[in-house]
Amino acid sequence: MTFLRYATAAFLLGASPSLADDLVALSTTATAITGDISFDDFEMVFDNGERIEFEDLIADHFTVDGKDVPASVYSVKAPGNPVLLNGNRLCGESPVTYLASWLDGDVTMVAVFETTEAPTRNDSMCALYTYVYP
């Protein structure tokens, strides 16, 4: 189990290009807005087929509630805010500019940002979604 956790962390950190991970929506927010997702170093594809493509991996760590954690922080290639399940969007009406992902135990956390500056902490996120492996 420890090896799997480190292997998953290496994937999230963008250690090497790899196939997309299919993740199941865990939180009520993820279930209602994104549904299940497919996520890799290049894009996030939502349950309804919409996607957000990443420009660059800009950081391999992130501060969550004051604690530095291994993470992947991506800039979004074409900032936007696609219509997802039930007519919902990731961040209200503002375009998504950055996305951060990290592991919390067996749960994949995905924070979404609409900031002009690259985020370094979770306190400026506009939404948080949680997923698990099937």
What is the domain extent for residue 30?
A: 2-132
Q: Give per-residue pLDDT as tens, 4-38.
A: 344 444 444 444 455 789 999 999 999 999 999 99
The count of other CB atoms within 10 Å of the CB of residue 133 is: 12
The β-bridge relationship of strands 43-45 and 37-39 is: antiparallel
* Residue 110, strand partner residues: 101, 129
Question: How many structural domains compose the chain?
Answer: 1
Query: Across residues 102-106, what is the average pLDDT?
Result: 97
Q: What is the pTM of this model?
A: 0.85
